[in-house]
Structure 1
Amino acid sequence: MTTTAALPDDTRDDGVLLVLGTGDQTFSSYCLAAASMRSPLVLVSDAEPTWQQPYLRDHEVAEVGDLEDLRWAVARLAGRHEIKGVVTWDEHALVAASHIATDLAVPGQSSATATACRNKAASRAVWSSECVPSARSIRVTSLVTATTAARRIGLPVVLKPASHTGGIGVVKVDHFDELPAAFTYASARAKGQGQEGSGILVEEYLDGPEIAVECVTSHGITTAVAVTRTELGAGPHFQAVGHVVTAGDPLLAEVAPIAEAALDALGVNCGISHVEMRLTTTGPKLIEVNARLGGDLVGHLVRLATGIDLAAAAVDIALGREPDLTPTRAAAAGIRLLYPATSGTVRTAQPRPELGTPDWLERLVWEIRPGQQTLLSPQGDPGTARLGHLVVTGDDVAQVQEHLAHAEGLLDIAVDPQLATG
């Protein structure tokens, strides 16, 4: 059932940007704020807007994953406003956004491209046919076929749901006796992938540092603007614990052509993309393409380090404008995602007084408060485990790492291992 925001019947404007979904306030509010500076906004989301309300001209509540329900909601908004573009930074709304953009005849991806970006099995097939370097991968639906695939590829392998992101359901397998538990783990988290993909992928393990290339595509031409270097926690779940972006990263020249080839092969013709890869001993190889702004405040880090506003660029592209990709800063920025050593009930989560408020500490946000529970993998996932995050700036990557270590060392975190019950 769709609900509608109150708006006088005679209230119209010169055109609005339609936003589909917004995600979590902690990690998405900067996107909505940047978008509101570029255009009046209307929103369709699964729930009545709360923190989003100050940024909006109008809204509808509808199930974004239900294309029929979504189309009715968009039609109601189109009756009150001239919709000039569609944008989303919500992974699960990418395919819906492509359909709505086609309906409205505004810039957007084709539904085939959006689906291929969401479905890692489809992406791998395209890259293999186009000779774009990526991990060998086989889609499976049972433990028997997973075992066969692992034998064909060779250990170690990685199991993951075909259409999830953010490390959900990802697990490394070093020995065949680990496969049953790993398949159960990945399968349990394969639910809710959406209609774009199903099943589990068994993939070649890519050894080496993980990075992402932040790309902007306008009128079919892709510009790689930054490299995000990712720090991963201990195996086997590949949980990201931090990212650093540095202006003028020399690695960009090496990895940009691969990212651009990956997007071109998938047919990406507009928008922002977060292209993940590993730097292996035989060269960079693709992990996946996220046809949206990177999570974990990556777009915010890019702006802090380079001055390039990817959220604003996404809006300009959606409205048919040329984005401004001129760097205005030459610095570095990083985020540390704070996880406890054990699952349990949070007893303490606070900074020590000596941390103070240095200029380089851009933010410290607690996502779980004392008395609440944190649940690590394999029982939980990043969304249930993370205590909070901090963002710092610096002149270069070394200074950012120094600031991250200094700030994290001045946090008092204590978790009682026994989970609360009842």
Structure 2
Amino acid sequence: MAQRALILVEGHNGIGLLYVKAAQRLGLHPITLSADPARYDYLAAERREVIRIDTDNLDSLIRECSRLHATYDIAGITGFSGEDESACVTAGKLCRHFELPGPNPPSIERCCDKFSQRQLLTEAGVPVPAYRVAANAREVESAAAQIGLPVILKPAEGSGSVGVRLCRTADELAEHATRLLGGQRISESPPRILVEEFAQGPYYCAEIMGDEVIGIYAGEFGPQPHFVFREFTLPAQLTKDEHKRIADVSLSCLRALGLNWGPTNIEFRWTKHGPIVIEVNPRLGGAPGPQLIQLAYGIDQITEHIKLVIGDESNLRRRRSHTAAARFLVPDRDGTLDWIRGDNQAAAVSGVSEVKWYIEPKTPIVRKGDYRDWIGYVIATSPSLSQTEAILQRAVDLIDCSITPFPALGE
């Protein structure tokens, strides 16, 4: 009997290894198809099966999967997102071709275009910030004048807060528009900028599988004008009514966008008008979201997602009720990371589940104002919020690192 295989289109440095290990626990052989396998450290470190291939070429992927089918029983296909959701779309198309369970590719594509997503949500009556789309500096200026400063400027495609910035003044608006229009391309298509009202209020994120809201966590950002996460807490401290309102709006988003299969991640701001949808991501949230869900509720999102991918029934029943939180380690300057200390002591603190570093000493650090600024994180859990916060703070206080600024020009 042929071995059952799980095809992974591209990888993910945050949760890719978790998918590989979950697949193996389910008796599956994970095979990664990637245009650049070197991007994903865990593939080489774990000696996983990897095939280098152009993952933007659907025909090539179909031929490769057909070739693999001669050796393996392909049980399912799924994809990851990096700075865009293109691999998720491609995986969905492969599922359709091979008649395997998967998301609806047009629905994923509509979500990938933030302007189209906004239009569909608006037509369905889902609350979103005021918005305009712009293709040049003049249109950006006009859109901002109609909405009123401050506004958020972001690429119409992309993820991880790449290129997202709060613009408070006309000068900041012109500067960031020039940057986005001048080469920070997320794709090969002509650049388009989404100009949005700055929806102010606490940040929440709903994690969904199918049409079931698994959990809602709260997030905190670092200093503006960027939106770099500093901390996540699950569950968010919401009243029953607030939780229901976010859950109800989440399900409205799914209906509006045709998302009724697999994982979805929906971001909100709670404004004076209630929950406002900032973005709908047609995928599982990145690390450490899945880890928090498992620690707080005992639900392994990744395993349950793979079950759906291979046609099995998922089980989203909560097995515990704890509080889990993650603190991101973010540098306060550019430079070279000299050394890291205290991570082993932090990991040994009772209640700490993980201390993760993304970089090693002697690595140059150049902050970009998005998720790529994270150099690590600490996760803690306990039965209560106050205890979890105390554990997390104690662990973070034990960690130290040294960053030597880059020499000034001419030195």
Instruction: With the length of structure 2 as denominator, give the TM-score of the two structures.
Output: 0.90
Give me the identity figure in percent.
26
Give the distance between the partners of 1:83 and 1:111, measured in 2 at CA: 19
* 1:129 aligns to 2:123 (yes or no): yes
Q: Which residue of 2 aligns with 1:43?
A: 32
Q: Which residue of 2 aligns with 1:336?
A: 327
Give 1:405's aligned amino acid.
Answer: Q
* 1:202 aligns to 2:195 (yes or no): yes
1:195-344 pair list within 5 angstroms? 198-217=191-210, 222-246=211-235, 250=239, 251-344=242-335
2:350 is matched with which residue: 349, 359, 368? 359
CA contact under 8 A between 1:247 and 1:305: conserved in structure 2? no
How far off its partner does 1:56 sit? 8.9
2:359 is matched with which residue: 364, 368, 374? 368
Give the match's secondary structure for 1:99: helix
CA contact under 8 A between 1:35 and 1:312: conserved in structure 2? yes
Give the distance between the partners of 1:140 and 1:247, measured in 2 at CA: 35
Give the distance between the partners of 1:185 and 1:333, measured in 2 at CA: 38
Give the match's secondary structure for 1:51: helix
How far off its partner does 1:37 sit? 1.8
CA contact under 8 A between 2:207 and 2:263: conserved in structure 1? yes
* Structure 1: 4+ residue segments shifted above 4 A: 53-59, 247-251, 352-356, 419-422
Give the match's secondary structure for 1:333: strand
1:372-383 pair list within 5 angstroms? 372-377=363-368, 381-383=370-372
Give the distance between the partners of 1:80 and 1:192, measured in 2 at CA: 36
* 1:30 aligns to 2:18 (yes or no): yes
Q: Which stretches in structure 1 are left out of the alignment for 5+ residues?
A: 1-10
Give the distance between the partners of 1:409 and 1:187, measured in 2 at CA: 41
* 1:12 aligns to 2:2 (yes or no): yes
Larger deviation, residues 41-50 vs 399-408: 41-50
Aligned residues: 402
* 1:75 aligns to 2:66 (yes or no): yes
How far off its partner does 1:143 sit? 0.8
Q: Which stretches in structure 2 are left out of the alignment for 5+ residues?
A: none
CA contact under 8 A between 1:368 and 1:386: conserved in structure 2? no
Q: Which residue of 2 aligns with 1:168?
A: 162
Q: Which residue of 2 aligns with 1:179?
A: 173
Give the distance between the partners of 1:284 and 1:142, measured in 2 at CA: 31
Deviations 1:194-230 (A, max 9, x none): 66x951111111101111100010xxxx000101211
Give the distance between the partners of 2:70 and 2:174, measured in 1 at CA: 53
Instruction: With the length of structure 1 as denominator, give the TM-score of the two structures.
Output: 0.88
How far off its partner does 1:188 sit? 5.3
CA contact under 8 A between 2:79 and 2:90: conserved in structure 1? no
CA contact under 8 A between 2:346 and 2:352: conserved in structure 1? no
How far off its partner does 1:249 sit? 5.9
CA contact under 8 A between 1:169 and 1:189: conserved in structure 2? no
Q: Which residue of 2 aligns with 1:396?
A: 384
Give the distance between the partners of 1:344 and 1:32, measured in 2 at CA: 34
How far off its partner does 1:391 sit? 1.2
